[in-house]
Amino acid sequence: MELFRWGKRRFLLRCAALLLIGGGMLTALAVASTSEAGKKTEKRTTYGTGVETGFQFVRYHDTCILFRAFFISGDFFSGLSQVDTPAGRQFEKKKQIYRTFPESIIVDVEAFAFHCDISPEHLPPADIAVGLLGTLSFGANWKTNSPDSQLSAVVPIKVEHLNHGIRWDYFLEIPAKDIPLTAELAISVTARDHIHLATFSSHL
């Protein structure tokens, strides 16, 4: 009976750790389903209200990283909804139609790092993956007329690692003048020593 109770306790602790540390993955899955319904997860930042537009889950050795991208331009994206019309997709907000992005936007690339083997015995230290996430470089390009064109290097205008926890935020300023709101933004993430971590698309 004691063995059963200990096993049950270990199981509950493991589930709690999965929910606590891996919550980002569950959020991403939820976002994927809400995106299909035309709704976007919003996030308040120092640059305005961002909406989630893409995510990518990657593994590097024993470290798992969830990348999420948010488009930000003041409150431009907050409440912006997609409508399918006979002429194609368009976006509207308060009965006004929008077809192109603002002249530039901020893309918040958010990263959550944790041990792939999540368990009460392997809780992530406060400085997990600092050597990896502290040296990231980025590339980005709009997929418009040249979907396969080379990504341009983008240097973050700000990097946040609040409370030295498992979450990092990299704020990228991306030119977007005359870019249609239906366009996708390709984002690449590279760590030290040219370690390619991820390439994923971000779109409304």
Per residue in 57-104, pLDDT tens?
999 998 999 999 999 999 999 999 998 888 778 899 998 999 999 999
Angle of helix 23-36 relative to helix 2-21, nearest 10 degrees?
60
pLDDT at 93: 94
Let me know: does 118 contact 17? Beta carbons within 8 Å.
yes
Residues β-bridged to residue 160: 169
pLDDT at 128: 78
Q: Sign (positive/negative) of CA torsion 35, 26, 63, 161?
A: positive
Q: Is 75 helix (H, G, I), strand (E, B) or coil?
A: strand
CA distance 204 to 101: 11
Let me know: does 67 contact 56? Beta carbons within 8 Å.
yes
What's this model's pTM, rounded to 2 decimal places?
0.80
pLDDT at 31: 39
pLDDT at 115: 83
pLDDT at 181: 96
pLDDT at 29: 39
pLDDT at 166: 86
pLDDT < 50 positions in the chain: 1-37
Q: Which of 116, 111, 122 is nearest to 167 (CA)?
A: 111
Centre a 10 Å sphere on the Cβ of residue 46 and count the other Cβ atoms it contains: 11
